[in-house]
């Protein structure tokens, strides 16, 4: 970032440094549903963020109540939903493929 090496980027979550010093990557990768805001600062950040030469990635989590919140999604792919390849012959059927992934994410505020 900003012409610096990969290990010259600082990562913070709610103001706390989450960069693992050994591998120079974030030690915690929050879910997209967990984030309220993120900010990427490349080279013109103030002295309060002077932790790394390359850039700053700042993330802020959502605040909420004590109620349970979450997200559910399903990824479905099969030959009924697939389009034919442009280069396949017109009389050839689509090869069979089936994959289903279900995922849920619960978050207690």
pLDDT, position 24: 75
Mean per-residue pLDDT of the chain: 77
Q: Grade residue 49 by pLDDT with cuts at 50, 70 and 90.
A: confident
Report how far residue 20's alpha carbon sits from residue 39's, in angstroms, rounded to the nearest whole number. Answer: 19
What pTM, to 2 d.p., does this model score? Answer: 0.56
Domain locations in the chain?
Answer: 6-61, 68-108
Any residues with CB less than 8 A from the CB of 6 and at least 6 apart, and which?
A: 24
At the topology level of CATH, where does 6-61 sit? Answer: Ferric Hydroxamate Uptake Protein; Chain A, domain 1 (2.170.130)
4's tokens: 């610096």
* pLDDT tens figures, 64-94: 777 777 777 777 777 677 777 788 788 877 7
């Amino acid at each position: 970032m900003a012409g610096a090496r990969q290990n010259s980027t600082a990562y913070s979550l709610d103001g706390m440094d989450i960069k693992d010093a050994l591998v120079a990557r974030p030690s915690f990768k929050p879910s997209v549903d967990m984030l309220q805001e993120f900010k990427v600062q490349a080279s013109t950040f103030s002295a309060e963020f002077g932790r790394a030469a390359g850039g700053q990635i700042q993330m802020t989590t959502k605040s909420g109540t004590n109620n349970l919140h979450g997200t559910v999604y399903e990824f479905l792919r099969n030959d009924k939903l697939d389009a034919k390849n442009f280069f396949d012959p017109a009389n050839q059927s689509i090869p069979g493929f089936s994959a289903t992934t279900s995922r849920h994410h619960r978050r207690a505020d």
